A and B are shown apart, each in its own frame.
Chain A
Amino acid sequence: MSRIQNAVIESVKTVLGWVPAQWLPGGTPDPLIERRAAIGRQASRQDGPAKVRGEARFAAEVAMDRLTYASLVHGTVTRGRITRLETAAAEAAPGVILVLTHRNMPRLAPLALISFTDLSAVGNSSLPILQDPVVRYNGQVVALVVAETQEQADHAAQLIEIDYAADAARTRFEGAKDDARTPASILIEKNHVSVGDAERELERAPHRVDNVYRTPGHNHNALELHAVTVAWQGGSLVVHDATQMIAPSANVLARLFGLKKEQVRVLSPFVGGGFGGKGLWDHQIVAIAAARLVDRPVRLVLSRDSVYRIIGGRTPTEQRVAIGADTEGRFTALVHTGYSIMPTYGACPEQYTLGTRALYRARSFEIVQRHLDLDIVPNTFMRAPGEAIGTFAVECAVDELAHAMSVDPIELRRRNEPDRHPISGTAFSQRALMQAYADGAGRFGWERRLAQPGARRDGEWLLGMGCASGSFPYVRMPGANVRITLRRTGEATLSCSAQDMGMGTATVQIQHAADRLGLPVEAITFEMGDSSLPAGPLAGGSAQTVSIAGAIMAAADKLTAELLRLAGNASPVAGLRAGEVRLVDGGITSIANPSQRESYQSILTRAARNEVTVSAAGSPPLEMLKFAMHSSSAIFCALRVSQVTGEIRVDRLLGSFDCGTILNPKTAASQFRGGMIMGLGLALTEETLFDERSGRIMNATLADYHIPSHLDVPEIDVMWTGIPDPRSPLGARGIGEIGITGVAAAVANAVFNATGKRIRDLPITLDKVL
């Protein structure tokens, strides 16, 4: 992102600062915050029964006539050039239809990288895909085999012989620091933030901590492998994909393959886990190209190994966090700087310092991220990019300072709790982190913690407790469109190309629509997962729910106006304007005089209409520029560490969340728990073994890359304040990513409480504790 962008965003924020809040989205609280019926109720996922019965068809399962199967070949050098490419044996192998290499791949432009200012740019990598004999990272796709069966394709892929002339490659994190770049902005925020003279404040602070924290690379491991089933039908393209960006993918594919927008249809009704990894990568592009060449449908399911090779993960980081405090523990300096990998052809800056800006009040700040160029598969967004690992560094540092000052770590946080955004001075829309701490501490039994490390034990096991804050920004995406069709029968269908990676997208929006339209949940259908429906934004940034909710709000307003028009002068609600009515109990009701109402059935019958259809886009999400909007959490961990082996076993985990209105406690609790389990992996076991000698990932399997097993996951308690955010649709903020944030620090702080050892290097494996 550029300096120009910084200037534009800053000036928009400045102007918004002058605009009265009531003129903006969220200016007056969403009325549904006060009168909700279906929202806030436990509801099981709509898609649950179909999934349990095996009836839900995922991208790799869609049936097609004359289907062919594809298998990838990955390059094995990190930088270089193919000098010999022998495909004859593969082409002659049984069942083989096509061997696709740079020689016969159609010439295509590179993908436009994901951008928050261009919503139709969704590429994770701008490197050429099979366009030339050059290899740019280890594992890059160098060939694709298409055959009659998967086994034949896999077999033939092994018969391709390739020689490379290897060039020198940049693979060493430490070595790349000398050439680190300092970007002007990180996403839509200015990168380098300097308030006061933090280094000087640090120097003269009576209390200070100043340490370096390291987090390793991580890989995406969604249960469902990346998969695509592609068919060209006439001049049109149908792509059954496992994706969290349906409409943007369709746009980009149309542009890439020279098609009209309506000639591309991307379907993805079910996705078996996304976490930021289910985007547009090389595999969809080569499968689509291959399908055109063989003139038959092609299915490409990545192997787990292929997912590691060509789907980027989370970058490793090295972060310095320093905090200076006065004798009362008030922060005088907060420094958060560091290094992460972000190749110039990648899209994700791993914004680990963005959360730090809103966490604590401090007299001075010094915040900046530096990017390293390495020759790797470009890293990408992974659940709470930035915050997941940024909170590890900051929240460990706060715990270290609390210990050094002999202050309870929650109390230290209380003393530094900001009442406005600490850097911009913007008002928080709503923030009750301290209440989340108080509620969580009470339920967890925090008062039983002994501040002295190593003071509690059970046989050979040292017991410890730790806590940490989590945070994640509120985002509402522009470009969310929804269509509502209301029928005379009192049923409604809502349509949006939305994605569901397992979190209950349709379920929650049905609850929402029921309340918004004044209908029972049984009367609502939510169509989604298809780019032929009105375009929704990508599912990311924990933003989909409020983004679609904002569009439903807009569409409901339009529907109200349309119904009033249809109602005409003969209606009991005649003469009322849209702002004077609400939709309740299957009809339009005057707010001032609730007995003045008419049912949808009556209005549509009189108008001789079977149904009425409206479409609308959500309002521009200006509230997120006008206000400081964040979800936050207090995470508590109790664990044991073996004095004999250093093994760490987590006994209890509690998350106390402040995320606005919780729309569906059942699906929300599941999201929180899932995030927290991922946080346990981040804390204790997950690590991409990237061999810096070869530039190659060495543990590209679930056997060698350790996510938590069932036995590693304790009972996880989740709770929430449930305080609505007056500035957001439904009073809700994102909940998908915050669960992982804060967990690694809570675990690390508990390990310190148990053992007296500070581990600043994730994952906290037993050898580090010994």
Chain B
Amino acid sequence: MMPFTYSRAASIDQAIEMAAGGRSHLLGGGTNLVDLMRKGVERPSGLVDVTALPGTIEETGGGGLRIGAAARNSAVAAHPLVRARYPMLARAILAGASAQIRNMATVGGNLMQRTRCVYFQDVAGARCNKRAPGSGCDAAGGFNRYHAIIGASPQCIATHPSDMCVALAALDARIHVAGAGGARTIPMVDFHRLPGERPDLETLLEPGEMIVAVEIDASPFARSTYRKVRDRASYAFALVSVAAGLTMRAGRIEKIGIALGGIAAKPWRALRAEAALRGGPATAQAFEAALAVELADAAPLPGNAFKVGLAQRTLGAVCIELSGSDR
């Protein structure tokens, strides 16, 4: 690890000021950043600890929730309102990492965590355009089972590893950010970027901006859940995951939200599939067909071609679970 300065911000304004200019990073739970510093992937000149900033979970006027960026993942998952109103979010968080990591990790940090692509993490031995722009991508012809099947580019095929973000995408969360230039709100579905020519740019955050809170509206879904698919039953990233919410009216789908994890550089909100399903019956076949439409542009690799069918079947099974219908 390279030497760095450490400071602790007492307010959002102070954090913005402390992190301005240099190569400082904001430090939440450190569950990803510190690992990356040990590996030499991240080499910040300073860390600004933001865990003392607001991490409260409050009800908003419209029956929604506002979650402070410093809230610990485990606190969000255990919160009675989250469990009652957003089961998909509670389940997504609990499907991630380990209890110890969830106790440390913050909501802001979860949004900002970086891909677990093994080539990205191997500074000494692998090329990576995300880590060192222009150096090349060793994942493309290498081990890419955990990599993207859609929205990737020749420069990068990495996936975003978060479970929580997949649920937030399905819930149309909004990310409140603050910076020297003032405050603004970014829709969750837009917050993460696809790699394109610049895989090193992962979010819409501008330099000097920071996440201060995540806001979710009152849930439009009568039922929702999160299902994560992985070889190991715990402490493994998703090969495919599905966050889905559903409201039925007279046997027809009235409201629906679907997002997928483990398949792209961002939580993949399946808007095309949702449009195809809205107003129709909730059957596994309909869901699988709708996802086929959604994934029509998928470009899987030899190591992850199985994910296309896996995503479809997983969504179909989630549909059965949510609608109570049978195949």
A interface list, Cβ under 8 A from B: 74, 76, 138, 151, 154-155, 158, 305, 460, 644-649, 684-685, 689, 691, 693-694, 696, 698-699, 701, 703-704, 706, 708-712, 763, 765-767, 770
CB–CB B141/A645 < 8 A: no
Nearest CB of A to B325, in Å = 14
Q: What are some 26 contacts across the A-B interface (CB < 8 A)?
A: A74-B124, A76-B124, A155-B2, A155-B3, A644-B316, A644-B317, A645-B240, A646-B310, A647-B231, A647-B233, A689-B143, A694-B125, A694-B126, A698-B119, A699-B143, A703-B116, A706-B232, A706-B236, A709-B233, A709-B234, A711-B233, A712-B232, A712-B233, A763-B231, A767-B145, A767-B306
**B40: A residues at CB distance < 8 A:** 158
- Which residues, 96 to 123 on B, are CB-close (under 8 Å) to A? 116, 118-119, 121-122
Q: 4 additional contacts, CB 8 Å, given A138-B125, A698-B143?
A: A645-B240, A684-B231, A706-B232, A709-B235
Once A158-B40, A766-B239, A770-B309 are accepted as A-B contacts, the answer to whether A644 and B314 lie under 8 Å apart by CB is yes
**B3: A residues at CB distance < 8 A:** 155
Residue interface bits B218-240, CB-to-A below 8 A is 1, else 0: 00000000000111111110011
CB–CB B310/A704 < 8 A: no
Cβ of B183 within 8 Å of any chain A Cβ, yes or no, is no
**Cα distance, A263 to B122, chains bound together (Å):** 42
Nearest CB of B to A150, in Å = 10
CB–CB B142/A710 < 8 A: no
CB–CB B234/A645 < 8 A: no
Nearest CB of A to B253, in Å = 20
Main secondary structure of the interface of A (DSSP, over half): loop
Nearest-neighbor residue (CB-CB) of B315 within chain A: A644
Nearest-neighbor residue (CB-CB) of A305 within chain B: B39
Q: Kindly identify which residue among B122, B230, B239 contacts A698, using a CB–CB cutoff of 8 Å.
A: B122
Nearest CB of A to B36, in Å = 12
Once A696-B126, A766-B239 are accepted as A-B contacts, the answer to whether A709 and B1 lie under 8 Å apart by CB is no
**A74: B residues at CB distance < 8 A:** 124
Q: Kindly identify which residue among A645, A696, A703, A765 contacts B314, using a CB–CB cutoff of 8 Å.
A: A645
Q: Kindly identify which residue among B1, B124, B313 contacts A155, using a CB–CB cutoff of 8 Å.
A: B1
**Cα distance, A154 to B125, chains bound together (Å):** 18
- The 7 A-B pairs of least Cβ separation, nearest first, read A711-B233, A711-B234, A767-B306, A709-B234, A644-B317, A698-B118, A645-B229
**A644: B residues at CB distance < 8 A:** 313-314, 316-317
Query: In which size bucket is the chain B interface?
Result: 35 or more
Once A154-B1, A693-B141, A704-B116 are accepted as A-B contacts, the answer to whether A698 and B126 lie under 8 Å apart by CB is yes
Nearest CB of B to A217, in Å = 13
Q: Kindly identify which residue among A648, A703, A770 contacts B306, using a CB–CB cutoff of 8 Å.
A: A770
**A694: B residues at CB distance < 8 A:** 125-126, 138
**A646: B residues at CB distance < 8 A:** 310
Residue interface bits B1-29, CB-to-A below 8 A is 1, else 0: 11100000000000000000000000000
**Cα distance, A711 to B232, chains bound together (Å):** 8
CB–CB A704/B234 < 8 A: no
**A698: B residues at CB distance < 8 A:** 118-119, 122, 126, 142-143
Nearest-neighbor residue (CB-CB) of B118 within chain A: A698
- Which residues, 29 to 61 on B, are CB-close (under 8 Å) to A? 39-40
Nearest-neighbor residue (CB-CB) of A764 within chain B: B231
**B314: A residues at CB distance < 8 A:** 644-645
CB–CB B231/A765 < 8 A: yes
**Cα distance, A701 to B235, chains bound together (Å):** 13
**Cα distance, A154 to B1, chains bound together (Å):** 6
Nearest-neighbor residue (CB-CB) of A647 within chain B: B229
Nearest-neighbor residue (CB-CB) of B306 within chain A: A767
Nearest CB of A to B42, in Å = 13
Nearest-neighbor residue (CB-CB) of A73 within chain B: B124
**Cα distance, A693 to B145, chains bound together (Å):** 17
Nearest-neighbor residue (CB-CB) of B231 within chain A: A765
Interface centre among B39, B121, B314 (most CB of A within 10 A): B121
Q: Kindly identify which residue among A648, A693, A696 contacts B122, using a CB–CB cutoff of 8 Å.
A: A696
Nearest CB of A to B129, in Å = 17
CB–CB B229/A710 < 8 A: no
CB–CB A685/B2 < 8 A: no
Nearest-neighbor residue (CB-CB) of A709 within chain B: B234
**Cα distance, A155 to B43, chains bound together (Å):** 12
**A712: B residues at CB distance < 8 A:** 232-234
Nearest-neighbor residue (CB-CB) of A684 within chain B: B231
Nearest CB of A to B116, in Å = 7
Nearest CB of B to A768, in Å = 9
**A701: B residues at CB distance < 8 A:** 121
CB–CB A647/B116 < 8 A: no
**Cα distance, A685 to B316, chains bound together (Å):** 26
Residue interface bits B289-322, CB-to-A below 8 A is 1, else 0: 0000000000000000010011001101100000
**A767: B residues at CB distance < 8 A:** 145, 239, 306, 310
Nearest CB of A to B206, in Å = 30
CB–CB A158/B231 < 8 A: no
**A158: B residues at CB distance < 8 A:** 1-2, 40
**A647: B residues at CB distance < 8 A:** 229-231, 233
**Cα distance, A648 to B118, chains bound together (Å):** 24
**A693: B residues at CB distance < 8 A:** 138, 141-142
Nearest CB of B to A166, in Å = 12
Nearest-neighbor residue (CB-CB) of A767 within chain B: B306
**Cα distance, A689 to B145, chains bound together (Å):** 11
Nearest-neighbor residue (CB-CB) of B119 within chain A: A698
CB–CB A645/B1 < 8 A: no
Interface centre among B126, B138, B142, B233 (most CB of A within 10 A): B233
- Which residues, 189 to 236 on B, are CB-close (under 8 Å) to A? 229-236
CB–CB A699/B233 < 8 A: no
CB–CB A151/B317 < 8 A: no
**Cα distance, A709 to B100, chains bound together (Å):** 14
